[in-house]
Structure 1
Amino acid sequence: MSTLALSRHSWWPWARRAAVWGFFALIAWLLVRQALVIDWEDVLDAIRALPAVSLLAGGALAACSFALYSTYDLLGRHITRHRLGTGTVMGVTFISYAFNLNLGSLVGGVAFRYRLYSRLGLSNDTITRVLGFSMLTNWLGYLVVAGAAFCFWPMTLPPEWKIGSEGLRVLGATLLVVALAYLVMCALARGHVWRVRGFGLKVPGFGMALLQLAMSCANWSLIGGVIWFLLQGQVAYAQVLAVLLVAAVAGVLTHVPAGLGVLEAVFVALLSHEVPQAQLLGALLAYRGLYYLLPLAVAALGYLLTEARARRLRAPALRGGR
């Protein structure tokens, strides 16, 4: 190994840790700064003042988003050719997504899928391929929606921020190029198997890639619509969607379950110069109720029912093995 390579290996882990902890410190500073100046009584008043039509519209879009996301694992079923029914697959995906939002990806998106799918008879290799394809679908749409939002409708940043719209346009164009590269790969290398840590990932066809793109873009757009309705149109939809996409990445990077506080900090930092802070936080807390807590209650019940069904399916096999 060359001296340059050894040098890189010695400083790179430390630089990466410093960057991660620096980001954590920035988020913590934003959270503390905002919490100290918030009038929480005004926030509660803002929640109570939300019109019923905004809550109903937000709830309807949240339900549509969950229904759409629950079909992601059906794409994985098509790829792996496993035989679980459509309702079963959508149920597992819904449960995993709800727990993923509230408890983090390792507990929800990963652990719950492995637990439920294995109880329903799928092998670890099949579960890994389904999970990987679902995650790929989700983030492929993110690339396109974020790329389009940043490139064509760059958000209006607070006056004190040093980042201009041109920097956002460059970032957006980069994200779109990455998504385009995936589509080109699917068109030219269909069926090629990539090996990642012992698992084979088969490149889907171009038609499947377009379907992934359409489904995920629609889902991210629906999530943005939930918050836009709760904000009662005080901010342009494209800007609300762009801020949501920034908050989504911030939540992933910080590994905070449910992005608790991170989502609010990003929205306050980017939109408080346009929307009164109490109204903004009231809308975001209502969003958490509609998109996080209510689905979690349904998913908890669904999890218990799925476990009971899995036990019933396994019982004949256990008796037959005696």
Structure 2
Amino acid sequence: MPMNASATHRSRSRQRWLGWAKRIVTLAFFVLVVVLLFSLIRNVDWPAVAETLRGYSLLTLAGGLVIAVASYVAFSSYDLLGKRYTGHELSVRQVLEVAFVCYAFNLNLGAWVGSLAMRYRLYTRLGLGVGTVTRVLSISLIANWLGYMLLAGTIFSFRLLELPRAWEIGATGLQIIGFGLLGASLAYLLACRFSKRRVWHVRGHEIVLPPLKLALMQAALGAANWSLMATLIYLLLPEEVFFPSVLGILLISAIAGVITHIPAGLGVLEAVFLALLQHRLATSEILAALIGYRALYFLLPLAVAFLMFLVLERRGRKRKRAERVSDR
């Protein structure tokens, strides 16, 4: 067998093994989450959960709604950074509308629907090229995960997450992960400031390293969005909970959701919060807070986003018809 053919064969074989390994890890993690969730909720006092939900005041729910709106504005502003980065001519209103719809669908139906398919569809219907949409998406994704790494790195490094006594052995491991996350975040910021190579090519797309000012804005918006999400859950939980713990648990559950590929992290969020908070709070209080969180942050925005999507689709069809008429 020629050398090049042999190398290609080894590369394909390695990719197949990596693919199978990824599927096995994902399946194992999914089974673990299901088993953990079942063991935690099998003896739940559901009437107590309903009673806790009925006990939320209108002021609390209104405050939660304000926090949810602020978080969606922060997330949608990632795409405004993409507008600044690419220099495209869509208006701020158009960008915020598209980003809001994509975020709501992303949270509820997964990244392939929200972040990818819907973003490309809506932006290209507004006249942006695929390359421009890819660069906007790259800025948005980096903002989200840069903010995540900075917050998770800080919480894990300084051991701000209050773990159950049986889990305390994992604090050192989390601390090491935290140092790594902070190091990766700092490396990105330093690269934005000092790197002489500004252009990278990923799967045929050109990615230009942003300036430091834009990178710092990515970090600020990303951290603000994750913090607001945690603030909403914190608002719905009893007062004795430590906020950095709530934020840390949310960040852990987000990664668990990414690994399992479960849309909306359904069951994953609940399993992680119950596992890490049940030593401090009643299960009914935790579940009530998470149900309220899902209603305010997932379901209500999804309903609004669906209506907005229909409006954007109608505008897109009108634009296409007008273009066809002008080309005749």
State TM-score, norm by structure 2: 0.92
2:29 pairs with 1:23: yes
Query: Is the CA contact (8 Å cut-off) linking 2:193 and 2:211 kept in structure 1?
Result: yes
RMSD: 2.1
2:168 pairs with 1:138: no
Query: How many pairs are equivalent?
Result: 322
Shift of 1:180: 0.3
2:71 pairs with 1:85: no
Shift of 1:13: 4.2
Task: Map 1:1-322 onto structure 2 (within 5 A).
Answer: 1=7, 12-161=18-167, 163-189=169-195, 192-322=198-328
Distance 1:74 1:51, change over 3 A: same
Distance 1:306 1:232 in 2: 40
Distance 1:321 1:7 in 2: 50
Distance 1:119 1:53 in 2: 40
Query: Is the CA contact (8 Å cut-off) linking 2:27 and 2:260 kept in structure 1?
Result: no
Amino acid at match of 1:233: E
Distance 2:208 2:29 in 1: 35
Shift of 1:312: 2.4
Amino acid at match of 2:76: S
Identity %: 45
Distance 1:18 1:317 in 2: 49
Query: Is the CA contact (8 Å cut-off) linking 1:62 and 1:223 kept in structure 2?
Result: yes
Distance 1:74 1:281 in 2: 35
Amino acid at match of 2:221: M
Distance 1:115 1:268, change over 3 A: same
More displaced, 136-145 or 158-167?
158-167
Amino acid at match of 1:23: F
Amino acid at match of 1:295: P
Query: Is the CA contact (8 Å cut-off) linking 1:27 and 1:262 kept in structure 2?
Result: yes
- For the residue of structure 2 that corresponds to 1:70, the secondary structure is helix
Structure 1 unaligned runs (5+)? none
Amino acid at match of 2:240: Q
Query: Is the CA contact (8 Å cut-off) linking 1:54 and 1:232 kept in structure 2?
Result: no
Shift of 1:122: 1.0
Shift of 1:187: 0.7
More displaced, 220-229 or 22-31?
22-31
Amino acid at match of 1:301: L
Distance 2:297 2:68 in 1: 6
Query: Is the CA contact (8 Å cut-off) linking 1:146 and 1:242 kept in structure 2?
Result: yes
